[in-house]
Structure 1
Amino acid sequence: MVHALPASDEIADLAETAARIRAGMETVITGRPDLVRHTVAVLLAEGHLLIEDVPGVGKTTLAKALAHAIDGTVGRIQFTPDLLPSDLTGVSVYRQADQQFEFRPGPVFANVVIGDEINRASPKTQSALLECMQEAQVTVDGVSHPLPRPFLVIATQNPVEMEGTYALPEAQRDRFMARLHVGYPSAAAELEMLERQEDADPLGDLRPVTTSSHLQHLTAVVRRLHASAPVKQYVVALASATRSDPMLRLGASPRAAIQLLRGAKAIAAMSGRDHVLPDDVQELAVPVLAHRLLPSTDARLSGRTVAETVQSVVAATPVPAGAAAHRPGRRATG
């Protein structure tokens, strides 16, 4: 099915709304504009986000800031080793009065689901999110229950080497569109953070800048953005290169290529453009691909990170002719 390409006013509305979401989040997340930009891109691309870093750098605060910026429902899950899958998805309860089962939904039935420290739960509980994230539904006792739209999972995790953590299964990592690292702020940003949060919580002043229904419209605009055949060939070439790289023993899946293109469309739309450029793909290559890949034994012994390998793949993969050209018949807007 061929969809109509987005109009210029739709692109302008998306770029303006994204800018307001970012501005609100940056009042809470100080000094890390690229982190906020990529977080909003995942939201607009209908992906799910994994935030990984050491404790105390603002992973959960970033997730809360995005949730506060959307006037939708928010579900919160604190992952612990004794958490059960039904604690996430919900359960069917037998009502003695009318002798029927009643489904009581779990916290995943929300527009934004914040999963705190996902890798502290057992692999069985982690896997309970697989159907939710891929199909936007939950099946309990043979009955499927659709999740509200839009639906976004933002999960935080500590590095796997830390005590009491479990590595996420490959299938679970592949459901996340991107993995972002918060990192330590600069000295100036940390000083500003101390001044802002000395006697107040900036999250308390963050107000929604868009509704869930408007967000659904914006994600539809992103899906309709133009990606030329050479740009798509470039995405496929990057994914294929990871599958044959000697530094990797597990390359990118076809799902990774699809989500890389969707993320690139979101970056293009946020920049006010109605078409995707190779730069948009390259910007998200590491966040979208690195967490899905597994290093080879040689890479581990040499101390080479997966992110470095992805950067090498991007540098070595030529951009197809015509991929950087504007789409004929429409003037570029940014």
Structure 2
Amino acid sequence: MSQANFKDAQSYLSNQILGQEQLVNRLLICLICGGHLLVEGAPGLAKTKAIKTLSDLLEGDFQRIQFTPDLLPSDITGTEIYRSQTSTFEFQKGPIFHNLVLADEINRAPAKVQAALLEAMAEKQVSVGSKTYPLDDLFMVMATQNPIEQEGTYPLPEAQLDRFLLHCNVDYPNAEHEKQILRLVRGEQTADFPKPETMLTKQAIFTARKEIAELHMSDAVEDYIVHLTMATRTPDKYDSDLAHWIEFGVSPRATIALDQVSRAHAWLNGQDFVAPDNVMSVLHDVFRHRLLLTYGAQAEHIVTDMVIDRLLDVVPVA
């Protein structure tokens, strides 16, 4: 039943967020896996609308945080407020204490503010002073960053990038979807796809997480995942170009993520097993933010997506 609910939610979201089917799919995958999503794309591509629309289908709440250079860590996590009536300090929860959190333009805030998210994303808890406050079991961060305007931005450190389950690049919609968006804004047509009658409850999400963990994965597919990881760490054993391009390979967290995301991708497609195609479909979004390239590769204008394409070419499918 939970699988049907997620399929209905995916169809509804794709109808509301025109031309961004991959973003919708990655949002649901992160929700199912209990991970966090980093979205990179130009302004106006419905990134904010996507997660807000998803929150309307959830048994949970949503909060947007606009990251700016003058933001403080306490603006994220919360702070202790002195109550003169009782002569005590009372913790005032910050916006991080919600189920779905949109960290808009996360790279516009300085490192200390970005680091305030690190514990919350990794441990699902917030430490303020000598006390630790747990977050809800259903907790997901979707962070956005603008790839065009880099003035006044602070690149995310590798440690925080690794906390994101997926890094999704959002591109412009095609001509047909652009026409539909125009007509929708002018009121000439409506996004009349019916909203699912059943909300995605916390129980349904936790059931989905259990089901994807039990999805069948053969030893051959498991070996394929491991070989893709190892090819980033010892690239000279696989390909001379990879050896020239890759400075540091992906961490074990990437292997775990690739396993989880491949399972969720297969589950959303109605499969009862994980195939190599599922691994290939999500590999770019899992590895994109975890690979560090050499200066030589950057000088040759090699980008991580090109390296991942090469990985898929040289690592044999078991």
TM > 0.5 fold call: yes
- Superposition pairs of residues 185-196 of structure 1, within 5 angstroms: 185-196=173-184
Decide which of 298, 301, 306 is 1:300's aligned counterpart: 298
Q: Deviations over 1:274-323 (max 9, x none)?
A: 32111111111001101111221121121111011011112211123xxx
1: distance between equivalents of 2:58 and 2:52? 10
Segment of structure 1 superposing worse, 111-120 or 39-48: 39-48
- Superposition pairs of residues 248-287 of structure 1, within 5 angstroms: 248-287=246-285
How many residues were matched structurally?
307
1:107 deviates by: 0.8
The aligned residue for residue 238 of structure 2 is none
1:180 deviates by: 1.0
1:273 deviates by: 2.2
Question: Which secondary structure state, in structure 2, belongs to the residue aligned with residue 82 of structure 1?
Answer: coil
AA aligned to 1:118 is I
The aligned residue for residue 104 of structure 2 is 116
- Superposition pairs of residues 1-334 of structure 1, within 5 angstroms: 13-159=1-147, 162-199=150-187, 209-243=199-233, 244=235, 245-246=242-243, 247-320=245-318
The answer as to whether partners of 1:48 and 1:154 remain within 8 angstroms in 2 is yes
1:140 deviates by: 0.9
Question: Which secondary structure state, in structure 2, belongs to the residue aligned with residue 210 of structure 1?
Answer: coil
1:175 deviates by: 0.6
2: distance between equivalents of 1:272 and 1:45? 16
The aligned residue for residue 329 of structure 1 is none
The aligned residue for residue 7 of structure 1 is none
User: Do the aligned partners of residues 227 and 168 (structure 1) sit closer, same or farther apart at CA in structure 2, a change above 3 Å counting?
Assistant: same
User: Do the aligned partners of residues 165 and 198 (structure 1) sit closer, same or farther apart at CA in structure 2, a change above 3 Å counting?
Assistant: farther
Identity across matched positions, percent: 39
TM-score, normalising length: structure 2: 0.90
Question: Which secondary structure state, in structure 2, belongs to the residue aligned with residue 94 of structure 1?
Answer: strand
- Gap runs ≥5 in structure 2: 236-241
Q: Deviations over 1:14-43 (max 9, x none)?
A: 331221111121122112323322221222
The answer as to whether partners of 2:111 and 2:156 remain within 8 angstroms in 1 is yes
Segment of structure 1 superposing worse, 123-132 or 96-105: 96-105
Q: Deviations over 1:218-258 (max 9, x none)?
A: 22222232333332222121111112332111211110110
Q: Deviations over 1:29-70 (max 9, x none)?
A: 112323322221222111100110111222222222222221
Q: Deviations over 1:136-160 (max 9, x none)?
A: 1111112111101211101111117
Question: Which secondary structure state, in structure 2, belongs to the residue aligned with residue 154 of structure 1?
Answer: strand
1:97 deviates by: 2.3
1:201 deviates by: 9.4
- Gap runs ≥5 in structure 1: 1-12, 321-334
Q: Deviations over 1:115-137 (max 9, x none)?
A: 11111111110111111111111
2: distance between equivalents of 1:190 and 1:67? 24
1: distance between equivalents of 2:13 and 2:246? 35
- What's the C-alpha RMSD, in Å, of the aligned pairs? 2.0
1: distance between equivalents of 2:73 and 2:191? 33
Segment of structure 1 superposing worse, 194-203 or 183-192: 194-203
2: distance between equivalents of 1:119 and 1:142? 29
1: distance between equivalents of 2:59 and 2:186? 27
The answer as to whether partners of 1:14 and 1:269 remain within 8 angstroms in 2 is no
AA aligned to 2:300 is S
2: distance between equivalents of 1:51 and 1:197? 24
The answer as to whether partners of 1:267 and 1:280 remain within 8 angstroms in 2 is yes
